[in-house]
Chain A
Amino acid sequence: MYEGVVQNLIDELGLLPGVGPKSAQRIAFHLLAADPADVKRLAHALLEVKEKVRFCRTCGNVASEEECRICRDARRDTHVICVVEESKDVVAIEKTREFRGTYHVLGGAISPIDGVGPDDLRIRELMTRLADGRVTELILATDPNLEGEATATYLARLVKPMGVKVTRLASGLPVGGDLEYADEVTLGRAFEGRRLLDV
């Protein structure tokens, strides 16, 4: 145990995800030894993120204004919505520079075993966005794991009667991997989604 304020800092850092007691102690002593200006900048950034960052009223992505940068961008195609679980997934898709539509962040995936059902996600908000009939395609980009697949199944069932085209991101073999190490489910999906080589 250390003097009050140092121990307080260690305890607070220890609450962060992936930070154990030893790591918390290491970060605390790093901050103690750091330049006061650097520490002030970090403290300011922490406070600012809580004060300024909010969730986009349209898509649920993190934003610094009422709407996020993507929803404000007039060049984006608002007829296509890509549904993702978390804001982190928006960043991952944006990095590809392949998608020019808009997003909808659900805030997780349906996981009954963890007590997360459809009502705990931003599904109602998605249905409101689809209600005006302007959206022509809904791309389901939830994680390719069990919860993500079940969430996609649930959404497809809900949205299809509205006449909106519902698509799911392809899944298959990762680029740079060995075929022999691919599991049966992934390899099966890769076969299902095989494409014609147009050479």
Chain B
Amino acid sequence: MSLYRDEGVVLRTQKLGEADRIVTILAKRTGKIRAVAKGVRRTTSRFGARLEPFTHVDLQLHTGRTLDVVTQAETLRPYGEALAADYPRYTAGTAMLETADRLTHGEKEPALRQFLLLVGGLRTLADRDHEARLVLDAYFLRSLAVAGYAPVLDACAKCRAPAIRAFAIVAGGVVCGACKPSGSVVPAGETIGLMAALLRGDWALADASESRHRGECSGLVAAYLQWHLEHGIRSLRHVEREPA
């Protein structure tokens, strides 16, 4: 039996048998882990709420033949407590967890930058400093950038011409009039500016943006994300926008 220790964020849980759960964790050093938490569904479980989604947790696991087994868990920060009490933030948070799960393909392949980004995103979401949907869009854009799919927003993604005309998902960002493929959308300049601000972390500009540009930005980012993942994000359908 080989024991190892790591810290991670619980991405999702699935029921297993009578009282167990399989927990999917994005760990700092190990990458994505799927492990069994025995007896966790019992009210007397020693794990309690430590292995709930959104929890940043310090873990001890032992390597199993197919799945590892969680032997000890200590909470570092329970983001779920704050998020479950605020429905729009909860739905945005679940979309972040699902995206993190999708973007880290293989199990036990280190993904330190994705882990740090997720922890930062959850902390920002739980601290309620910015609108939930803005935090979610910023997380989507930055996690795509870490995965190598950063959208080009400052010049034409095809020819690098400075005159921007439209946003084309297939081209990988904004395009000029000459390179504009059919089916590309023509968003407001402020929307592209907002996307760039979210990508580089300019919260002053993002917080000052208008609701219509935020809505347009969310639509583009969601389409861009799902096109690159080659998979729909199920949680996105349920993400609720906070009242203005």
Contacts and interface: CB of A to CB of B under 8 A. Distances in A.
A113 B98 contact: yes
B44 A113 contact: no
A36 interface: no
Nearest to A117: B238
B80 interface: yes
A113 B12 contact: yes
B87 A150 contact: yes
Contacts, number: 74
Instruction: State the main secondary structure of chain A at its contact with B.
Output: helix
Contact of B239 (A112, A115, A185): A112
Interface string A76-93: 000000000000000000
A191 interface: no
A174 B43 contact: yes
A154 B85 CA distance: 9
Interface centre among B83, B95, B234 (most CB of A within 10 A): B234
Contacts of B84: 146, 149-150, 153
A181 B90 CA distance: 27
Contacts of B235: 112-113
Given A113-B12, A145-B52, A146-B52, A177 B44 contact: yes
A176 B42 CA distance: 13
A160 B232 CA distance: 34
A150 B47 CA distance: 20
Interface in B58-93: 75, 78, 80-81, 83-87, 90-91
B91 A146 contact: no
Interface centre among A111, A112, A117, A184 (most CB of B within 10 A): A112
Contacts of B18: 18
Contacts of A183: 47-50, 75
A176 B98 CA distance: 37
B78 A153 contact: no
Interface size for chain A: under 10, 10 to 19, 20 to 34, or 35 or more residues?
A: 20 to 34
Contacts of A177: 44
Interface string A53-64: 000000000000
A124 to B, nearest CB: 16
A113 B97 contact: yes
Contacts of A170: none
Nearest to B98: A113
Contacts of B43: 174
17 contacts: A18-B18, A112-B91, A115-B237, A117-B237, A146-B53, A146-B54, A150-B84, A150-B87, A153-B86, A153-B90, A174-B44, A183-B47, A183-B48, A184-B50, A185-B48, A185-B49, A185-B80
